[in-house]
Structure 1
Amino acid sequence: MTFRSFAIGLTLAFGIAWMAVVVVPFFSMRDVKPVAFDEAADGKTGIYFPKRTGRVANGAEVYASNGCYLCHTQVVRTTDAGNDLGRADWGGNKTDETRGDTRRESNVFDYQGEKFAQIGVSRLGPDLSNIGLRVQNYVKESNGDPKTWLYLHLYNPRLDPKLSTSKCPSLPFLFEDKAITGQTPVAALAVPTKEGRAIVPTPEAESLVSYLLSLKRDDALPKAINPAPAAKPAAAPAAAPKG
Protein backbone atom coordinates (compact mmCIF):
# COMPACT_ATOMS: atom_id res chain seq x y z
CA MET A 1 0.00 0.00 0.00
CA THR A 2 1.38 3.39 -0.99
CA PHE A 3 1.19 6.45 1.22
CA ARG A 4 -1.12 8.08 -1.33
CA SER A 5 -3.66 5.24 -1.22
CA PHE A 6 -3.43 5.16 2.59
CA ALA A 7 -4.08 8.91 2.82
CA ILE A 8 -7.03 8.69 0.43
CA GLY A 9 -8.52 5.73 2.31
CA LEU A 10 -8.11 7.49 5.67
CA THR A 11 -9.69 10.67 4.32
CA LEU A 12 -12.63 8.75 2.90
CA ALA A 13 -13.14 6.75 6.11
CA PHE A 14 -13.34 9.87 8.28
CA GLY A 15 -14.96 12.04 5.60
CA ILE A 16 -17.90 9.71 4.99
CA ALA A 17 -18.52 9.35 8.74
CA TRP A 18 -18.34 13.14 9.18
CA MET A 19 -20.77 13.70 6.32
CA ALA A 20 -23.22 11.12 7.69
CA VAL A 21 -23.08 12.18 11.34
CA VAL A 22 -22.55 15.96 11.09
CA VAL A 23 -23.22 17.48 7.67
CA VAL A 24 -26.34 15.58 6.56
CA PRO A 25 -28.17 15.94 9.93
CA PHE A 26 -27.25 19.64 10.08
CA PHE A 27 -28.75 20.49 6.70
CA SER A 28 -31.77 18.25 7.18
CA MET A 29 -32.65 19.66 10.61
CA ARG A 30 -31.59 23.31 10.52
CA ASP A 31 -34.83 24.41 8.85
CA VAL A 32 -37.50 21.94 9.93
CA LYS A 33 -40.84 22.53 8.28
CA PRO A 34 -44.04 22.63 10.38
CA VAL A 35 -45.97 19.36 10.54
CA ALA A 36 -49.73 19.37 10.20
CA PHE A 37 -52.20 17.09 11.96
CA ASP A 38 -54.20 14.88 9.63
CA GLU A 39 -57.89 14.70 10.53
CA ALA A 40 -58.23 11.10 9.38
CA ALA A 41 -55.15 9.83 11.24
CA ASP A 42 -55.03 12.19 14.23
CA GLY A 43 -58.65 13.14 14.74
CA LYS A 44 -57.92 16.86 14.47
CA THR A 45 -56.43 19.47 12.17
CA GLY A 46 -53.96 22.30 12.59
CA ILE A 47 -50.19 22.65 12.90
CA TYR A 48 -48.21 20.78 15.54
CA PHE A 49 -46.51 23.17 17.95
CA PRO A 50 -44.27 21.66 20.65
CA LYS A 51 -45.36 22.35 24.22
CA ARG A 52 -42.42 23.92 26.06
CA THR A 53 -42.48 26.48 28.87
CA GLY A 54 -39.65 27.59 31.14
CA ARG A 55 -36.22 29.18 30.91
CA VAL A 56 -35.19 26.81 28.14
CA ALA A 57 -32.21 28.68 26.66
CA ASN A 58 -30.65 29.86 29.96
CA GLY A 59 -31.35 26.59 31.75
CA ALA A 60 -29.84 24.55 28.91
CA GLU A 61 -26.61 26.55 29.27
CA VAL A 62 -26.43 25.81 33.01
CA TYR A 63 -27.22 22.14 32.29
CA ALA A 64 -24.39 21.93 29.76
CA SER A 65 -21.84 23.93 31.79
CA ASN A 66 -22.25 21.54 34.73
CA GLY A 67 -21.74 18.46 32.56
CA CYS A 68 -25.19 16.97 33.15
CA TYR A 69 -25.12 15.58 29.60
CA LEU A 70 -22.18 13.33 30.51
CA CYS A 71 -24.39 11.06 32.63
CA HIS A 72 -27.90 11.80 31.35
CA THR A 73 -29.37 11.48 27.88
CA GLN A 74 -32.44 13.22 26.51
CA VAL A 75 -33.53 10.73 23.87
CA VAL A 76 -36.55 8.43 24.05
CA ARG A 77 -35.33 5.88 21.53
CA THR A 78 -37.38 4.40 18.72
CA THR A 79 -38.80 0.98 19.49
CA ASP A 80 -36.43 -0.69 17.02
CA ALA A 81 -33.44 0.77 18.90
CA GLY A 82 -34.54 -0.01 22.47
CA ASN A 83 -37.77 -0.22 24.40
CA ASP A 84 -37.61 3.15 26.16
CA LEU A 85 -41.39 3.44 26.02
CA GLY A 86 -41.55 0.43 28.31
CA ARG A 87 -39.83 2.33 31.12
CA ALA A 88 -42.22 4.02 33.53
CA ASP A 89 -42.63 7.75 32.76
CA TRP A 90 -39.71 7.91 30.32
CA GLY A 91 -41.80 8.92 27.31
CA GLY A 92 -45.04 10.15 28.82
CA ASN A 93 -47.70 8.38 30.87
CA LYS A 94 -49.26 5.06 29.98
CA THR A 95 -52.43 6.00 31.86
CA ASP A 96 -52.78 9.78 31.79
CA GLU A 97 -55.83 10.90 33.80
CA THR A 98 -57.40 12.79 30.90
CA ARG A 99 -55.76 11.58 27.67
CA GLY A 100 -54.94 7.92 28.21
CA ASP A 101 -51.60 6.72 26.79
CA THR A 102 -49.37 9.75 26.09
CA ARG A 103 -46.08 7.90 25.60
CA ARG A 104 -44.06 8.77 22.52
CA GLU A 105 -40.54 8.80 21.08
CA SER A 106 -38.26 11.82 20.69
CA ASN A 107 -38.34 14.00 17.59
CA VAL A 108 -36.47 17.04 16.29
CA PHE A 109 -39.08 19.46 17.67
CA ASP A 110 -38.23 18.40 21.24
CA TYR A 111 -35.00 20.41 21.10
CA GLN A 112 -36.39 23.70 19.86
CA GLY A 113 -35.23 26.71 21.84
CA GLU A 114 -31.84 25.14 22.60
CA LYS A 115 -28.62 26.06 20.83
CA PHE A 116 -27.46 22.45 21.07
CA ALA A 117 -29.60 19.34 21.43
CA GLN A 118 -28.72 17.83 24.82
CA ILE A 119 -28.85 14.24 23.59
CA GLY A 120 -26.17 13.23 26.09
CA VAL A 121 -23.13 10.96 26.17
CA SER A 122 -24.18 8.02 28.36
CA ARG A 123 -26.91 6.77 30.67
CA LEU A 124 -24.88 6.47 33.83
CA GLY A 125 -27.94 8.25 35.23
CA PRO A 126 -31.47 7.90 33.82
CA ASP A 127 -32.71 9.64 30.71
CA LEU A 128 -34.13 13.11 31.45
CA SER A 129 -36.35 13.60 28.39
CA ASN A 130 -39.41 13.49 30.61
CA ILE A 131 -37.94 14.47 33.98
CA GLY A 132 -40.44 17.31 34.50
CA LEU A 133 -43.37 14.92 34.36
CA ARG A 134 -41.59 12.15 36.28
CA VAL A 135 -40.79 14.45 39.23
CA GLN A 136 -44.35 15.76 39.16
CA ASN A 137 -45.69 12.20 39.40
CA TYR A 138 -43.17 11.26 42.12
CA VAL A 139 -43.96 14.13 44.51
CA LYS A 140 -47.71 13.88 43.90
CA GLU A 141 -47.87 10.97 46.36
CA SER A 142 -46.65 13.20 49.19
CA ASN A 143 -48.29 16.43 47.99
CA GLY A 144 -44.82 17.80 47.40
CA ASP A 145 -43.63 20.55 45.07
CA PRO A 146 -41.59 19.49 41.98
CA LYS A 147 -39.48 22.65 42.10
CA THR A 148 -38.60 22.15 45.77
CA TRP A 149 -37.73 18.50 45.17
CA LEU A 150 -35.39 19.42 42.30
CA TYR A 151 -33.65 22.13 44.36
CA LEU A 152 -32.97 19.64 47.15
CA HIS A 153 -31.82 17.04 44.61
CA LEU A 154 -29.35 19.47 43.06
CA TYR A 155 -28.08 20.57 46.47
CA ASN A 156 -27.59 16.99 47.66
CA PRO A 157 -29.33 14.03 45.92
CA ARG A 158 -28.76 11.78 48.93
CA LEU A 159 -31.05 13.86 51.17
CA ASP A 160 -33.94 11.79 49.78
CA PRO A 161 -33.92 8.50 51.77
CA LYS A 162 -34.97 6.62 48.62
CA LEU A 163 -31.87 7.94 46.83
CA SER A 164 -29.32 7.40 49.60
CA THR A 165 -26.98 5.55 47.21
CA SER A 166 -27.31 8.03 44.34
CA LYS A 167 -24.10 8.64 42.38
CA CYS A 168 -25.29 12.04 41.20
CA PRO A 169 -22.85 14.76 42.36
CA SER A 170 -24.01 17.50 44.71
CA LEU A 171 -24.04 21.03 43.28
CA PRO A 172 -23.94 23.26 46.38
CA PHE A 173 -22.23 26.05 44.40
CA LEU A 174 -25.58 26.64 42.69
CA PHE A 175 -26.91 27.82 46.07
CA GLU A 176 -26.09 30.70 48.37
CA ASP A 177 -25.74 30.70 52.15
CA LYS A 178 -27.41 33.99 53.10
CA ALA A 179 -28.02 35.77 56.38
CA ILE A 180 -31.73 36.07 57.17
CA THR A 181 -32.94 39.63 57.58
CA GLY A 182 -36.58 39.51 58.58
CA GLN A 183 -38.58 36.52 57.38
CA THR A 184 -36.97 33.36 56.03
CA PRO A 185 -36.92 33.47 52.20
CA VAL A 186 -39.71 31.45 50.60
CA ALA A 187 -37.19 29.62 48.41
CA ALA A 188 -34.96 28.60 51.36
CA LEU A 189 -34.11 24.89 51.38
CA ALA A 190 -35.15 22.74 54.33
CA VAL A 191 -31.58 21.70 55.13
CA PRO A 192 -29.46 22.10 58.27
CA THR A 193 -27.57 25.39 58.42
CA LYS A 194 -26.33 27.89 60.99
CA GLU A 195 -28.88 29.81 62.99
CA GLY A 196 -29.91 33.04 61.30
CA ARG A 197 -28.87 31.83 57.85
CA ALA A 198 -30.62 30.11 54.94
CA ILE A 199 -29.60 28.18 51.84
CA VAL A 200 -31.30 29.71 48.78
CA PRO A 201 -31.00 28.94 45.05
CA THR A 202 -28.97 31.26 42.83
CA PRO A 203 -30.34 32.50 39.49
CA GLU A 204 -28.38 29.66 37.84
CA ALA A 205 -30.18 27.07 39.99
CA GLU A 206 -33.53 28.69 39.21
CA SER A 207 -32.81 28.57 35.46
CA LEU A 208 -31.70 24.94 35.64
CA VAL A 209 -34.78 23.83 37.59
CA SER A 210 -37.06 25.75 35.23
CA TYR A 211 -35.36 24.00 32.30
CA LEU A 212 -35.69 20.55 33.88
CA LEU A 213 -39.37 21.12 34.60
CA SER A 214 -39.88 22.06 30.94
CA LEU A 215 -38.82 18.56 29.89
CA LYS A 216 -42.19 16.88 29.44
CA ARG A 217 -42.51 14.64 26.40
CA ASP A 218 -46.21 13.92 26.70
CA ASP A 219 -47.83 16.15 24.09
CA ALA A 220 -49.76 14.51 21.26
CA LEU A 221 -47.79 14.18 18.01
CA PRO A 222 -49.11 13.94 14.46
CA LYS A 223 -48.95 10.35 13.23
CA ALA A 224 -46.62 11.59 10.50
CA ILE A 225 -43.78 12.05 13.03
CA ASN A 226 -44.82 9.39 15.52
CA PRO A 227 -44.68 6.18 13.48
CA ALA A 228 -44.09 3.69 16.29
CA PRO A 229 -47.05 2.78 18.50
CA ALA A 230 -46.65 2.96 22.27
CA ALA A 231 -45.29 -0.19 23.84
CA LYS A 232 -47.70 -2.28 25.86
CA PRO A 233 -45.83 -3.44 28.99
CA ALA A 234 -47.46 -4.16 32.31
CA ALA A 235 -48.31 -1.02 34.26
CA ALA A 236 -45.55 0.01 36.66
CA PRO A 237 -45.85 2.29 39.72
CA ALA A 238 -44.20 5.70 39.67
CA ALA A 239 -40.55 5.29 40.64
CA ALA A 240 -38.16 7.77 42.19
CA PRO A 241 -36.33 9.84 39.53
CA LYS A 242 -32.94 8.23 40.20
CA GLY A 243 -30.07 10.66 40.43
Structure 2
Amino acid sequence: MTRNLLGLLVLSSVLLLVSWSYLIVGSNDQYGELGLTSDTLDENGSVIPDAALFPKATPGLAHQGSEVYVSLGCIACHTQQVRLEGVGNDLKRGWGLRPSMPRDYVRQSQPLLGRFRHGPDLANAGTRKELTEEALHRRLYSPQIEFPDSPCQPNPFLYDRRKIQGDVSEGAYDLQDGTEIIPGRAARKLVAYLSSLRQDYELPEMPFLIEPEIVIRPVSLLVPPSSTSENNGSSDE
Protein backbone atom coordinates (compact mmCIF):
# COMPACT_ATOMS: atom_id res chain seq x y z
CA MET A 1 0.00 0.00 0.00
CA THR A 2 2.80 2.37 0.96
CA ARG A 3 4.70 1.55 -2.24
CA ASN A 4 1.63 2.25 -4.33
CA LEU A 5 1.16 5.65 -2.69
CA LEU A 6 4.83 6.47 -3.11
CA GLY A 7 4.74 5.44 -6.75
CA LEU A 8 1.63 7.53 -7.35
CA LEU A 9 3.29 10.52 -5.68
CA VAL A 10 6.42 10.16 -7.81
CA LEU A 11 4.36 9.78 -10.99
CA SER A 12 2.29 12.86 -10.14
CA SER A 13 5.45 14.88 -9.49
CA VAL A 14 6.98 13.80 -12.79
CA LEU A 15 3.83 14.64 -14.73
CA LEU A 16 3.62 18.04 -13.04
CA LEU A 17 7.28 18.77 -13.83
CA VAL A 18 6.87 17.73 -17.46
CA SER A 19 3.72 19.81 -17.90
CA TRP A 20 5.33 22.91 -16.40
CA SER A 21 8.47 22.40 -18.49
CA TYR A 22 6.36 22.09 -21.63
CA LEU A 23 4.50 25.27 -20.73
CA ILE A 24 7.66 27.27 -20.07
CA VAL A 25 9.68 25.93 -23.00
CA GLY A 26 6.73 26.16 -25.36
CA SER A 27 5.98 29.74 -24.36
CA ASN A 28 9.63 30.71 -24.76
CA ASP A 29 9.78 29.13 -28.21
CA GLN A 30 6.62 30.95 -29.23
CA TYR A 31 7.21 34.36 -27.66
CA GLY A 32 10.82 34.47 -26.45
CA GLU A 33 12.17 36.00 -29.67
CA LEU A 34 9.55 38.73 -29.90
CA GLY A 35 10.97 42.23 -30.10
CA LEU A 36 10.19 45.70 -31.33
CA THR A 37 8.84 45.94 -34.85
CA SER A 38 7.56 48.39 -37.44
CA ASP A 39 3.87 48.39 -38.27
CA THR A 40 4.66 46.80 -41.63
CA LEU A 41 7.56 44.64 -42.85
CA ASP A 42 9.51 44.64 -46.10
CA GLU A 43 9.17 41.95 -48.77
CA ASN A 44 11.61 39.76 -46.85
CA GLY A 45 9.60 39.95 -43.65
CA SER A 46 12.16 42.20 -41.96
CA VAL A 47 11.73 45.45 -40.07
CA ILE A 48 11.91 48.45 -42.40
CA PRO A 49 15.11 50.49 -41.78
CA ASP A 50 14.56 53.82 -39.98
CA ALA A 51 10.88 53.00 -39.45
CA ALA A 52 9.18 53.85 -36.17
CA LEU A 53 9.35 50.89 -33.81
CA PHE A 54 6.56 49.67 -31.57
CA PRO A 55 5.68 49.39 -28.79
CA LYS A 56 7.24 52.65 -27.68
CA ALA A 57 8.98 53.10 -24.35
CA THR A 58 6.96 54.41 -21.41
CA PRO A 59 8.09 57.93 -20.38
CA GLY A 60 9.71 58.35 -16.97
CA LEU A 61 6.80 59.95 -15.10
CA ALA A 62 4.38 57.42 -16.56
CA HIS A 63 6.70 54.58 -15.58
CA GLN A 64 6.61 55.82 -12.00
CA GLY A 65 2.84 55.98 -12.29
CA SER A 66 2.70 52.25 -12.97
CA GLU A 67 3.99 51.71 -9.44
CA VAL A 68 1.18 53.90 -8.08
CA TYR A 69 -1.27 51.90 -10.21
CA VAL A 70 -0.13 48.68 -8.55
CA SER A 71 0.04 50.11 -5.03
CA LEU A 72 -3.56 51.35 -5.21
CA GLY A 73 -4.81 47.93 -6.31
CA CYS A 74 -6.08 49.09 -9.72
CA ILE A 75 -4.78 45.84 -11.18
CA ALA A 76 -7.38 43.92 -9.17
CA CYS A 77 -10.33 45.42 -11.07
CA HIS A 78 -8.97 46.57 -14.44
CA THR A 79 -7.37 44.60 -17.25
CA GLN A 80 -4.98 45.84 -19.91
CA GLN A 81 -5.72 43.34 -22.62
CA VAL A 82 -8.18 43.80 -25.49
CA ARG A 83 -9.62 40.39 -26.15
CA LEU A 84 -9.84 38.63 -29.50
CA GLU A 85 -13.02 38.86 -31.52
CA GLY A 86 -15.36 36.07 -30.57
CA VAL A 87 -14.06 36.02 -27.00
CA GLY A 88 -15.68 39.26 -25.91
CA ASN A 89 -17.09 42.56 -27.18
CA ASP A 90 -14.05 44.69 -26.36
CA LEU A 91 -13.74 46.16 -29.85
CA LYS A 92 -17.45 47.01 -30.03
CA ARG A 93 -17.14 48.75 -26.67
CA GLY A 94 -14.50 51.04 -28.12
CA TRP A 95 -11.67 49.69 -25.99
CA GLY A 96 -9.26 49.35 -28.91
CA LEU A 97 -8.74 49.19 -32.65
CA ARG A 98 -7.44 45.63 -32.55
CA PRO A 99 -6.92 42.81 -30.05
CA SER A 100 -3.83 42.92 -27.85
CA MET A 101 -0.88 40.77 -28.89
CA PRO A 102 2.05 39.36 -26.85
CA ARG A 103 4.36 41.81 -28.63
CA ASP A 104 2.51 44.72 -27.02
CA TYR A 105 4.13 43.84 -23.70
CA VAL A 106 7.75 43.14 -24.69
CA ARG A 107 8.99 46.33 -23.00
CA GLN A 108 7.31 45.45 -19.71
CA SER A 109 9.15 43.35 -17.15
CA GLN A 110 5.81 42.62 -15.47
CA PRO A 111 2.81 43.13 -17.77
CA LEU A 112 -0.11 44.45 -15.74
CA LEU A 113 -2.75 42.35 -17.49
CA GLY A 114 -5.06 42.47 -14.47
CA ARG A 115 -6.78 39.88 -12.33
CA PHE A 116 -10.46 40.61 -12.87
CA ARG A 117 -12.48 42.98 -14.99
CA HIS A 118 -14.86 44.79 -12.69
CA GLY A 119 -14.17 48.03 -14.56
CA PRO A 120 -13.37 48.87 -18.19
CA ASP A 121 -10.22 47.61 -19.87
CA LEU A 122 -7.44 50.20 -19.82
CA ALA A 123 -5.10 48.94 -22.55
CA ASN A 124 -6.00 52.03 -24.61
CA ALA A 125 -6.97 54.47 -21.87
CA GLY A 126 -4.71 57.11 -23.42
CA THR A 127 -6.58 57.04 -26.74
CA ARG A 128 -10.10 57.43 -25.36
CA LYS A 129 -11.33 60.94 -26.06
CA GLU A 130 -13.46 61.14 -22.94
CA LEU A 131 -10.53 60.33 -20.66
CA THR A 132 -8.91 63.74 -20.60
CA GLU A 133 -6.47 64.58 -17.83
CA GLU A 134 -9.25 66.43 -15.99
CA ALA A 135 -11.66 63.50 -16.34
CA LEU A 136 -9.04 61.09 -15.04
CA HIS A 137 -8.26 63.27 -12.03
CA ARG A 138 -11.94 63.67 -11.19
CA ARG A 139 -12.51 59.91 -11.41
CA LEU A 140 -9.44 59.15 -9.34
CA TYR A 141 -10.51 61.62 -6.68
CA SER A 142 -13.99 60.12 -6.47
CA PRO A 143 -15.50 57.92 -9.20
CA GLN A 144 -18.86 58.26 -7.47
CA ILE A 145 -19.11 61.93 -8.53
CA GLU A 146 -19.83 60.79 -12.09
CA PHE A 147 -20.92 57.22 -11.42
CA PRO A 148 -22.78 57.00 -8.07
CA ASP A 149 -22.87 53.19 -8.11
CA SER A 150 -19.23 52.72 -9.02
CA PRO A 151 -17.46 50.13 -6.83
CA CYS A 152 -14.11 51.82 -7.50
CA GLN A 153 -12.48 53.25 -4.39
CA PRO A 154 -12.12 57.04 -4.08
CA ASN A 155 -8.62 58.40 -3.56
CA PRO A 156 -8.97 61.81 -1.88
CA PHE A 157 -5.59 61.40 -0.19
CA LEU A 158 -3.94 61.95 -3.57
CA TYR A 159 -5.32 65.49 -3.74
CA ASP A 160 -5.50 68.74 -1.81
CA ARG A 161 -9.11 69.96 -1.70
CA ARG A 162 -9.95 73.54 -0.79
CA LYS A 163 -12.54 76.24 -1.37
CA ILE A 164 -12.29 78.25 -4.55
CA GLN A 165 -11.23 81.83 -3.90
CA GLY A 166 -12.15 83.73 -7.04
CA ASP A 167 -10.89 81.80 -10.06
CA VAL A 168 -9.88 78.16 -10.05
CA SER A 169 -6.21 77.84 -9.13
CA GLU A 170 -3.65 76.95 -11.77
CA GLY A 171 -3.31 73.18 -12.04
CA ALA A 172 -6.51 72.61 -10.05
CA TYR A 173 -9.84 71.11 -11.11
CA ASP A 174 -13.28 72.46 -10.24
CA LEU A 175 -15.57 69.96 -8.50
CA GLN A 176 -18.60 72.17 -9.28
CA ASP A 177 -19.46 72.48 -5.58
CA GLY A 178 -17.41 75.53 -4.72
CA THR A 179 -14.26 73.52 -4.13
CA GLU A 180 -11.27 72.53 -6.20
CA ILE A 181 -8.78 69.70 -6.07
CA ILE A 182 -5.07 70.03 -6.68
CA PRO A 183 -3.35 66.80 -7.72
CA GLY A 184 -0.42 65.66 -5.66
CA ARG A 185 2.63 64.16 -7.30
CA ALA A 186 1.34 60.58 -6.96
CA ALA A 187 -1.90 61.57 -8.73
CA ARG A 188 0.04 63.21 -11.56
CA LYS A 189 2.20 60.12 -11.94
CA LEU A 190 -0.86 57.88 -12.13
CA VAL A 191 -2.63 60.07 -14.69
CA ALA A 192 0.55 60.20 -16.77
CA TYR A 193 0.65 56.41 -16.70
CA LEU A 194 -3.00 55.99 -17.67
CA SER A 195 -2.57 58.53 -20.47
CA SER A 196 0.42 56.57 -21.78
CA LEU A 197 -1.58 53.35 -22.20
CA ARG A 198 -2.14 53.07 -25.93
CA GLN A 199 -1.97 50.22 -28.40
CA ASP A 200 -2.70 52.62 -31.25
CA TYR A 201 -0.30 51.08 -33.75
CA GLU A 202 -0.63 48.19 -36.14
CA LEU A 203 1.52 45.08 -35.86
CA PRO A 204 2.52 42.75 -38.72
CA GLU A 205 0.68 39.95 -36.96
CA MET A 206 -2.37 42.07 -36.09
CA PRO A 207 -3.47 45.10 -38.16
CA PHE A 208 -6.31 47.35 -37.11
CA LEU A 209 -9.69 45.64 -37.24
CA ILE A 210 -11.45 48.96 -36.79
CA GLU A 211 -10.56 51.99 -38.89
CA PRO A 212 -9.47 54.95 -36.73
CA GLU A 213 -12.03 57.76 -36.89
CA ILE A 214 -9.62 60.61 -36.23
CA VAL A 215 -5.97 61.16 -35.49
CA ILE A 216 -5.50 60.09 -31.89
CA ARG A 217 -4.83 63.06 -29.67
CA PRO A 218 -1.31 63.61 -28.29
CA VAL A 219 -0.91 63.37 -24.55
CA SER A 220 1.22 65.74 -22.49
CA LEU A 221 3.18 63.94 -19.82
CA LEU A 222 4.88 67.05 -18.46
CA VAL A 223 4.71 67.70 -14.75
CA PRO A 224 2.57 70.81 -14.12
CA PRO A 225 4.01 73.58 -11.96
CA SER A 226 4.20 72.82 -8.26
CA SER A 227 1.03 73.74 -6.45
CA THR A 228 0.82 76.19 -3.58
CA SER A 229 0.05 73.37 -1.18
CA GLU A 230 3.29 71.62 -2.14
CA ASN A 231 5.27 74.83 -1.65
CA ASN A 232 3.79 75.02 1.82
CA GLY A 233 5.05 71.53 2.53
CA SER A 234 1.72 69.68 2.56
CA SER A 235 1.91 65.97 1.78
CA ASP A 236 0.76 64.82 -1.65
CA GLU A 237 1.57 61.14 -1.50
Fold match by TM threshold 0.5: yes
CA contact (8 A) 1:176 1:199 kept: yes
Aligned residue in 1 for 2:217? none
Alpha-carbon distance, 1:34 to partner: 3.6
Identity of aligned residues (%): 31
Note the alpha carbon deviations across 1:139-160, whole angstroms, 9 max, x for none.
6xxxxxx111101100001112
Aligned residue in 2 for 1:152? 138
CA contact (8 A) 1:155 1:172 kept: yes
Change (3 A) 1:38 1:58: same
List runs of 5+ in structure 2 lacking aligned partners: 214-237
SS in 2 for 1:11: helix
Aligned residue type for 1:216: R
- Is 1:49 aligned to 2:49, yes or no? no
Name the TM-score, length of structure 2 as normaliser. Answer: 0.69
Out of 31, 38, 41, which is 1:38 matched to? Answer: 41
SS in 2 for 1:199: strand
CA contact (8 A) 1:59 1:204 kept: yes
Structure exhibiting the larger radius of gyration computed from Cα positions? 2
- Is 1:107 aligned to 2:101, yes or no? yes
Aligned residue type for 2:170: V
CA contact (8 A) 1:57 1:114 kept: no
Aligned residue in 1 for 2:209? 230
Distance 1:187 1:151 in 2: 11
Root mean square deviation of aligned Cα: 3.7
Alpha-carbon distance, 1:70 to partner: 0.7
Distance 1:214 1:226 in 2: 21
**Greater relative CO, 1 or 2 (CA 8 Å, sep 6+):** 1
Alpha-carbon distance, 1:194 to partner: 8.9
Aligned residue in 1 for 2:158? 174
Aligned residue in 2 for 1:121? 115
List runs of 5+ in structure 1 lacking aligned partners: 92-102, 140-145, 236-243
Distance 1:194 1:83 in 2: 40
Change (3 A) 1:19 1:209: farther
Alpha-carbon distance, 1:6 to partner: 2.9
Distance 1:56 1:83 in 2: 28
- Is 1:187 aligned to 2:171, yes or no? yes
SS in 1 for 2:174: coil
Alpha-carbon distance, 1:52 to partner: 5.4
Change (3 A) 1:38 1:202: same
Aligned residue in 2 for 1:77? 83
Name the TM-score, length of structure 1 as normaliser. Answer: 0.67
Change (3 A) 1:10 1:109: same
- Is 1:220 aligned to 2:202, yes or no? yes
Give the aligned length. 205
Out of 199, 205, 212, which is 2:181 matched to? Answer: 199
Aligned residue in 1 for 2:234? none
CA contact (8 A) 1:62 1:208 kept: yes
Alpha-carbon distance, 1:206 to partner: 0.7
